Amino acid sequence: MRKDFATKTGRRIGVVNHRDGHTELIVSKSDDPDACLASLPLTGDEAGALANLLGAPQLVAQLIEEHRELPGINTKQLPIAPGSPFDGRNLGDTALRTRTGVSVVAVMRAGQVIPSPGPEFTFTAGDVLVVVGTSEGLTKAREILAHD
């Protein structure tokens, strides 16, 4: 399955998901979308990392815009890094809302957005949490996720 779009300059960028499970990032000619100029094979982890790089900032930008007129409310991305005390544990174990007042509104994982995760949601290294709260709460949440 191929999905692509035209950039402002007319170049086409897309993703091809093959039946055998492998994924390619492609760049095509503007005048002939079937003529591939470049192809980059991606592993599942690489595709997820690219999706997180592209998707999380867009989600955060949208939330920031929506909260612009609410003084004191901030939106941030907080990673679950390898070695985090919460890698393999669930959201309820963090007690983030109780300890910091911060709410986890979504988790970005391997290119997928998981909205409003419940307390039973299990984190994996590489997850990016989209959180909303005060500056102080966000700072404390970052410390908790990194060091508990």
Q: What is the CATH number of the domain that holds 77?
A: 3.30.70.1450
Residues 26 and 74 occupy one common structural domain: no
Residues 84 and 113 occupy one common structural domain: yes
Residues 35 and 52 occupy one common structural domain: no
Residues 101 and 125 occupy one common structural domain: yes
Q: Confidence band (pLDDT; 50, 70, 90) for 109?
A: confident
Q: How many domains are there within the chain? A: 2
Over residues 42-95, the pLDDT tens digits come to 887 777 677 666 665 665 666 556 656 666 778 888 999 888 999 999 999 999
DSSP assignment of 26-67, as one string?
EEE-SS-TTSEEEEEEE-HHHHHHHHHHHHHHHHHHHHHHHH
Residues 52 and 76 occupy one common structural domain: yes
Residues 110 and 58 occupy one common structural domain: yes
**Domain limits at 134?**
46-147
